[in-house]
Amino acid sequence: MKKLVANNQPNFLTRMFANEQIAQIKEIMSSTPHRLDPFFNPQRIAIIGASERGMYPSGVLRNLLDYGYKGEVYPVSLSRETVFGLKAYPDITKTPQTPDLAIIIVPRKAVLATLKQCVQKGVPAAVVITAGFAESDDEGKVLQTKLADFIKTNPITVIGPNCAGLADMHTKAISTRLPVPPKAGTVSFVSQSGALMMALYGLFADRQIGMNRILSLGNQLDVNLSESIAYLVADEKTQVIGTFIEGLQDAPAFANTLQEALIIGKSIILLKSGRTESGQAAAATHTAALAGSAKVFDAVCEQFGAIQVNDISEMMDTLQLAATFGDKLQGAGKIALVTQSGGLGSLSADLVEGFGLIAPPLSKALSQKLLDLPHIPDFGLLANPSDVRGSSVIGEATAETLAPFLNDSDTDAVVLLLAKSAVREQDVETAKSIVDATKSSEKPLIVIWVGQRHPVDDPDWALGHEILREAGIPLFAQASDGLRALSHLFHHWQFREKWLENPTNLQIPERKSKKERENKALSYAENMALLEKYQIPLAPAKLVKNEVDTLVAAQEMGFPVALKAISTELTHKSDAGLVELNLQNADELARAAKRVFERLGGHRIEGLQVQKMLPSGVEVILGISTDPQFGLVLAFGTGGILVELLDDVVLRLPPISETQVREMIKKTKAWRLLQGFRGSPPADIDALVTLIVNLSKMAVEETSTLDGLDLNPVIVLPKGQGAYAVDYRAFR
Amino acid sequence: MKKLVANNQPNFLTRMFANEQIAQIKEIMSSTPHRLDPFFNPQRIAIIGASERGMYPSGVLRNLLDYGYKGEVYPVSLSRETVFGLKAYPDITKTPQTPDLAIIIVPRKAVLATLKQCVQKGVPAAVVITAGFAESDDEGKVLQTKLADFIKTNPITVIGPNCAGLADMHTKAISTRLPVPPKAGTVSFVSQSGALMMALYGLFADRQIGMNRILSLGNQLDVNLSESIAYLVADEKTQVIGTFIEGLQDAPAFANTLQEALIIGKSIILLKSGRTESGQAAAATHTAALAGSAKVFDAVCEQFGAIQVNDISEMMDTLQLAATFGDKLQGAGKIALVTQSGGLGSLSADLVEGFGLIAPPLSKALSQKLLDLPHIPDFGLLANPSDVRGSSVIGEATAETLAPFLNDSDTDAVVLLLAKSAVREQDVETAKSIVDATKSSEKPLIVIWVGQRHPVDDPDWALGHEILREAGIPLFAQASDGLRALSHLFHHWQFREKWLENPTNLQIPERKSKKERENKALSYAENMALLEKYQIPLAPAKLVKNEVDTLVAAQEMGFPVALKAISTELTHKSDAGLVELNLQNADELARAAKRVFERLGGHRIEGLQVQKMLPSGVEVILGISTDPQFGLVLAFGTGGILVELLDDVVLRLPPISETQVREMIKKTKAWRLLQGFRGSPPADIDALVTLIVNLSKMAVEETSTLDGLDLNPVIVLPKGQGAYAVDYRAFR
């Protein structure tokens, strides 16, 4: 058998993503004009349906006036001469200059006519806040179809309808109604749900997280989620992107965007609904597009290092740390836990381990520095967590206690754990001292403060917390919140570093529709040619036409052999008794061949395959399948009963690099089996990796016609002896 | 082979736990005097070391004076005539009457002398707040040993040292320093960590959760966690118990207490640290006792329906719902989700499914009632989640919208999901309307309100939230918090209902120490007698002395057979080549016997065992092992490679009932294999259940001498054909 060669080009790609290149890519991305630009940086905004009452009709204009938008604003109103003192126009064609952006808040029946006027005026972009379209009744569905037809054939970009608008916190171009003034920063957020975007904006404000752009998409008639995220990835002011997703419209573009974000080092944090049957049903009644397979979605996020979260607080926590610390959360994730509560310390140590972070023992140097401090009790046990007792981390001494940790080169992040309900003055001292400590160090510090913050009888009590918040020190109410967010980000940057060592370049070309490819099983010769072309090794086999030739073939390759009828008419050959295994000699082979012929029941066959029985190895399965959203997907899993019993399968979009293949294998139980389990020898992992890389190449090159391929099982023999597919089935 | 009979007595036990009996048990438990009574209901309290400064020296006395304690208080002070206007005494022997309780806050070197004076005066109970004992330096360890010796031989009960004290919110007997006034209720909390208890007390106050007793244990010199929880379970005013555990001192008592709580229907919610290596190391440096095996601890909690949580908020959320709804969270867990945000709705539907709750479609009757409401938009899609749009759940209409859900007999709990940042007046209306809605229904309602609550610039903004809180309506900041807590409690009550159908009565008798039992392997005859006594079926086997007899035995039982050398000197027989499997005829048997004799290498054997090879079935493993804390533990798991690859094993303390055994099997992957997997026939689950029930009986009856037993594998044959141990090994 020929030596297998992997077909990826790590050197070229590694060079491609060197730091200078990444800077270049970012420069090109952010300087390329985009059709979404007018939404966030318009010179002139028209509000069509402006009024002095109503949440949006009045609120949008008030936001523009109150929060410092520098461009011109044209209220458009059928009934008013002025709105909030600004001259109003009866329709958009009457404005003195052409607006860059129209915000449309008119009755649903008037939306189409309004858009027509916008096009007539030359307005390039419109946000349609108005609801009552496809998300509502039959009339709404008809109206939406008409809108869609109009937008397709006219030079205007539309966000909505049925959306809560959008905002840019730097230009103050606000097409929504922000309940609190904007605070400019580096986080952008895009949401399919308008209500959730507005609720989360409040939470961002609450945590004093600076934002760049927020965007709600509504029914996604024109601009969809994938395009929006891609736009934010390219945006130079955006460093961190949060998104709430119900369903994807353009999955390949979404996957490409995740890859771009990974390469240029922007973190994407996703909250996805519609992950279960109940959630999908709920999403379907709303505005979301096809919710799609949660499994493939998860795999794609994992493949490109996007951070998936499970609920609102986890999203906020992770966004906050990403915004606060940027790419500083790099390294192994060595956490120093400093506390005055042994109980909270041991609880947190459990969580550190559970989240895959590390709390290594303190170095001798660090311990000594601590013991030199006057306020550390000499009986304090200085482990990690360090229980330094109350006097060291409550009140003015805190900064001195934290300094050795913040200056320790062997610590990646410091977590201060306080278990105490607020005690007014002292808390202020503690908070100020914590802020002082962080001034002389770049090392990330978070504070986990378990206890009462907001007693009903005295709202000022929360002052200590406010001081930390205003200083930008992330504050959490329980250990798991802060540690989980740290773990997301440490693992994200670790993943990126590893990924860039041996990257791939995702290519998802256009494919024929499923119907055009409709499940045509390949002939034996076609199967063999396909496997050969991509160097997928098959256990030695020969197709013969009669019983006599089976014996010749078997003697050539040596007993024991397996015998199988080959026919595109018959798919479940084992069930039909058309596969005979472990035939030891000529006699057994002859009888088996006879049985197989008897069982054919008149079906035409291409011939009988005689195949050498492989010695025992680790059984795995490999496959290519078609996802309705993402296209071809590679699958690798543990074989035998485990694949069904555990669903122990990992999915990836092709192509995947050798490094990525190894990571993929490690995520399954097969990894332990392959390393030599219960006394069996280590398996030929290198051969398996090469096989998967070649399969990935096949998926890329054959993507326009291939529909699926099963290699089940693949036997991975002991080290040095190779990995071979035993059974195979491809569809075009 | 004899028919197997299960040895438990379900009828008797079911009767034992009928409702009237449970009431009787509760009555007896709560009326039995207990040595901890004086700590919570003392008539006279002495504070030894009272002062007008210092957190504890002044704070405890202030709490007693300010929060309404009705008994007498004696400050004891060496230096003061009065403290806060009360006459002070130079030592406790000088107080006019004998206090029930002494609170000791003196330097560590004075603690022993103070305790001696307490005994001299006849004080039955003392809380030692003073720290600096075994948790600190060598001198502290010596002092603690002296204290321990004194307490053991004198009539006084001691909590501490190094504790933060305790409190009773009904009697206002407060031996700690509460930062906010007590609010009496049904929740009790016991903590090994003093700082964490104080922090959590603040959180209880924040959520306005009424409490009964809180208790911090410090170094547990006398009163330990198990006794404290048992005391709270017995206490009639306590309905719900929360606890923070670092390590257990008296594990069998702890398990018994969980069982008692389950029987009488009190919920215990546990947060355990020291679950990982890092956490255990951290706990060991503090005051905790041996952290013990997290696995066995988890199994014991699961076995008796105690609710384990992972962090502080989850504990608070679950305690709050348990306190608010008591045993009303019964039934299948059918949740009605009502929302104005489709996005939050679909996210929550995912979480409902993920937490094992149900969001069934709305009944036609309920849908119709909703459509009859004027404010539900006629295009509103009324599924579950019901996206009823903003106008229906924001402002005054909310009560009308919620009413049909709250009156729906097919709904177990209603979850109102709001995604909105606060808008002052409207929020107050919404909150009042929610409170109105709950007045006419007993059905549990929780509110999940995602959005800003506490803007920095206007603290009054949170008023809507305050109204809900004051009305006792549980309020959560994200969906998973509320839904997780609901799921904990629904599953808890479901578990209890099932458990009471076929209960067991936990018995953990005193055992000899491990050293006294030191791993003595049983002889063949002893093994056989033990298996026979408890009707544990073994695959037919015979012990013979020579090669000739192996053939006689094999012919009697029929080929194929296995051959094994039996010797207490040799434990790893397979590795030593002393087991020969699948011998098909006399010839193979003779050669195998020869090989075995050759490999003995001079070791003495009891004989050769000839054993019938069983037909194929499902391989499982069963065992009894010794946990250093809990004693004998039963183990059941999937056999073959799965036990090592997946660690797919469930543990239980004996005895377990038939119902419990079935639930135990269902928790493993073996369950799917036993039901018939990939075309194999369903296995004899009944025989397996009987075997495990009998093994459980063995563990109970032999507990004082048995150290461990392995049945590996046990082959479960097809239905009706039995389950048989193949290999066995017992230790006394």
Total domains in the fold of chain A: 5
Residues of A in contact with B195 (CB under 8 A): 340-344, 390, 419-420
- CA-nearest residue to A133 within chain B is B379
**What pLDDT shows up at residue A255?**
95
Assess whether B318 and B454 both reside in one domain. Answer: no
Test A480 with B195 for CB contact under 8 angstroms: no
Structure tokens at A591: 């009888």
Residues of A in contact with B271 (CB under 8 A): 347
Residue B27 exposed, middle or buried by CB count within 10 Å (0-12, 13-18, 19+): exposed
Assess whether B209 and B311 both reside in one domain. Answer: yes
Test B346 with A282 for CB contact under 8 angstroms: yes
Q: Which residues in chain A (422-451) have CB-CB distances under 8 A to chain B? A: 422-423, 450-451
Assess whether A338 and A297 both reside in one domain. Answer: no
CB contact B630 to A (< 8 Å): no
Give the helix, strand, coil percentages of chain A, each rounded to 5: 40, 20, 40
- CA-nearest residue to A674 within chain B is B645
CB contact B288 to A (< 8 Å): yes
**What pLDDT shows up at residue A378?**
63
Residues A182 and B509: their CA atoms lie apart, in Å, by 67
Structure tokens at A358: 């590390």
Residues of B in contact with A201 (CB under 8 A): 421
Residues B180 and B175: their CA atoms lie apart, in Å, by 14
Which residue type does A604 have?
R
- CA-nearest residue to A345 within chain B is B282
Bridge partners, residue A541, by sequence? A611
Nearby residues of B29 by Cβ (< 8 Å), 6 or more positions away = B233, B234, B260, B264
Residues of A in contact with B468 (CB under 8 A): none
Residues A85 and A88: their CA atoms lie apart, in Å, by 9
**Local structure of A189: helix, strand or coil:** strand
How close does chain B come to A83, measured CA to CA in Å? 23
pLDDT tens digits, one per residue of B584-625: 999 999 999 999 888 887 788 889 999 999 998 999 999 998
Residues A77 and A122: their CA atoms lie apart, in Å, by 19
- The distance from CA A725 to its chain's CA centroid, rounded to whole angstroms, is 32
CB contact B231 to A (< 8 Å): no
Assess whether B642 and B591 both reside in one domain. Answer: no
Listed as ranges, residues in chain B with pLDDT below 70 are 1-17, 282-292, 378-381, 423-424, 454-462, 508-519, 571-572
Which residue type does B290 have?
L
Residues B383 and B151: their CA atoms lie apart, in Å, by 65
Assess whether B370 and B464 both reside in one domain. Answer: yes
Mutating which of B287, B452, B467 best tests the A interface, going by the most A Cβ atoms within 10 A?
B452
How close does chain A come to B662, measured CA to CA in Å? 19
Q: Which residues in chain A (484-523) have CB-CB distances under 8 A to chain B? A: none
Residues A356 and A370: their CA atoms lie apart, in Å, by 27
How many beta carbons lie within 10 A of that of residue A514, not counting itself? 11
Under 8 Å between Cβ of A229 and A270 = no
Considering the domain boundaries, does residue B353 fall inside one? yes
Q: Dmax over Cα atoms in chain B, in whole Å?
A: 101
Assess whether B560 and B631 both reside in one domain. Answer: no
| CATH, residue A633 | 3.30.470.20
**Local structure of B172: helix, strand or coil:** coil
Which among B179, B354, B377 has CB closest to A423? B179
What string of DSSP letters covers B457-492?
Answer: T-GGGGHHHHHHHHTT--EESSHHHHHHHHHHHHHH
Mutating which of B357, B384, B421 best tests the A interface, going by the most A Cβ atoms within 10 A?
B421
Test A459 with B459 for CB contact under 8 angstroms: yes
pLDDT tens digits, one per residue of A374-395: 887 765 567 899 988 888 888 8
Test A198 with B423 for CB contact under 8 angstroms: no
Which among B193, B286, B340 has CB closest to A195? B340
Test A193 with B285 for CB contact under 8 angstroms: no
Pick the closest to residue B349 from A271, A276, A246, A284 (CA basis): A276
What string of DSSP letters covers B188-220?
Answer: EEEES-HHHHHHHHHHHHHTT--EEEEEE-TT-
Test B311 with A452 for CB contact under 8 angstroms: no
User: Rg of the Cα trace of chain A?
Assistant: 31
Residues A235 and A30: their CA atoms lie apart, in Å, by 5
Residues B530 and B709: their CA atoms lie apart, in Å, by 10
How many beta carbons lie within 10 A of that of residue A442, not counting itself? 8
Residues A539 and A560: their CA atoms lie apart, in Å, by 13
Residues of A in contact with B455 (CB under 8 A): 180, 202, 205-206
| CATH, residue B234 | 3.40.50.261
CB contact A595 to B (< 8 Å): no
CB contact A352 to B (< 8 Å): yes
φ, ψ (nearest 5 deg) of residue B573:
-70, -40
Instruction: Quote the domain boundaries for residue A307.
Output: 183-329+478-508
Considering the domain boundaries, does residue B232 fall inside one? yes
pLDDT tens digits, one per residue of B171-216: 999 999 998 899 999 999 999 999 999 999 999 998 989 999 999 9
Residues of A in contact with B382 (CB under 8 A): none
CA angle A4, A8, A9 (to 5 degrees): 125
Mutating which of B346, B353, B448 best tests the A interface, going by the most A Cβ atoms within 10 A?
B346
Residues of B in contact with A350 (CB under 8 A): 273-276, 278-279
| CATH, residue B155 | 3.40.50.720
Residues of B in contact with A279 (CB under 8 A): 346-347, 349-350, 353
Residue B2 exposed, middle or buried by CB count within 10 Å (0-12, 13-18, 19+): exposed
Assess whether B101 and B57 both reside in one domain. Answer: yes
Considering the domain boundaries, does residue A351 fall inside one? yes
Length of chain B: 732
How close does chain B come to A10, measured CA to CA in Å? 34
Residues B25 and B30: their CA atoms lie apart, in Å, by 9
**What pLDDT shows up at residue A7?**
40
CB contact B419 to A (< 8 Å): yes
Which among B137, B196, B677 has CB closest to A343? B196
Q: Dmax over Cα atoms in chain A, in whole Å?
A: 102
CB contact B330 to A (< 8 Å): no
- CA-nearest residue to A480 within chain B is B311
End position of a domain, from candidates B612, B631, B657: B612
Assess whether A658 and A722 both reside in one domain. Answer: yes
Mutating which of A278, A461, A487 best tests the B interface, going by the most B Cβ atoms within 10 A?
A278
Residues of B in contact with A277 (CB under 8 A): 353
- Phi-psi domain of B679 (left: phi exceeds 0; alpha: psi -120 through 50; beta: other): left
Considering the domain boundaries, does residue B6 fall inside one? no
| CATH, residue B558 | 3.30.1490.20
Which among A180, A383, A420 has CB closest to B282? A383
Residues A41 and A47: their CA atoms lie apart, in Å, by 15
Between chain A and chain B, how many beta carbons pairs sit less than 8 Å apart?
303
Which residue type does B445 have?
L
Considering the domain boundaries, does residue B491 fall inside one? yes
Structure tokens at A378: 């000499």
Order of strands, sheet of A307-309, starting from the edge strand that comes earlier in the sequence: A166-168, A211-216, A184-191, A240-245, A267-272, A307-309
Residues B287 and B192: their CA atoms lie apart, in Å, by 8
Residues of A in contact with B280 (CB under 8 A): 346
Give whole-number Cα distances, B78 to A523, B75, B101, B109, B123, in Å.
101, 10, 19, 15, 19
Residues B358 and B626: their CA atoms lie apart, in Å, by 39
CB contact B452 to A (< 8 Å): yes
Task: Give the start-end residues of each E strand in B96-224.
Answer: 101-104, 125-128, 157-159, 166-168, 184-191, 211-216
Under 8 Å between Cβ of A109 and A145 = no
User: Rg of the Cα trace of chain B?
Assistant: 31
Residues B46 and A120: their CA atoms lie apart, in Å, by 89
Assess whether A551 and A600 both reside in one domain. Answer: yes
**What pLDDT shows up at residue B592?**
93
Considering the domain boundaries, does residue B693 fall inside one? yes
How close does chain B come to A658, measured CA to CA in Å? 25
Provide the whole-model pTM: 0.93
Considering the domain boundaries, does residue B12 fall inside one? no
Residues A694 and A723: their CA atoms lie apart, in Å, by 13
Residue B110 exposed, middle or buried by CB count within 10 Å (0-12, 13-18, 19+): middle
Three-state secondary structure string covering A166-179: EEECCCCCECCCCC
Residues A239 and A267: their CA atoms lie apart, in Å, by 7
Residues B413 and B719: their CA atoms lie apart, in Å, by 41
- For helices B138-152 and B111-121, give the axis angle rounded to 10 degrees: 10
Test B140 with A203 for CB contact under 8 angstroms: no
Assess whether A216 and A256 both reside in one domain. Answer: yes
Assess whether B229 and B314 both reside in one domain. Answer: yes
Assess whether B471 and B486 both reside in one domain. Answer: no
Residues of A in contact with B311 (CB under 8 A): 347, 351, 478-481
How close does chain A come to B147, measured CA to CA in Å? 20
DSSP class of A237: T
pLDDT tens digits, one per residue of B476-511: 999 999 999 999 999 999 999 999 988 888 776 666
Considering the domain boundaries, does residue A517 fall inside one? no
Bridge partners, residue B83, by sequence? B86
How close does chain B come to A379, measured CA to CA in Å? 5
End position of a domain, from candidates B490, B508, B526: B508
End position of a domain, from candidates B127, B161, B195: B161
Test A341 with B201 for CB contact under 8 angstroms: no
Structure tokens at B164: 């933060």
Listed as ranges, residues in chain A with pLDDT below 50 are 1-15, 285-292
How close does chain A come to B121, measured CA to CA in Å? 34
What string of DSSP letters covers A592-628?
Answer: HHHHHHHHTTT---SEEEEEEPPPP-EEEEEEEEEET
**What pLDDT shows up at residue A380?**
53
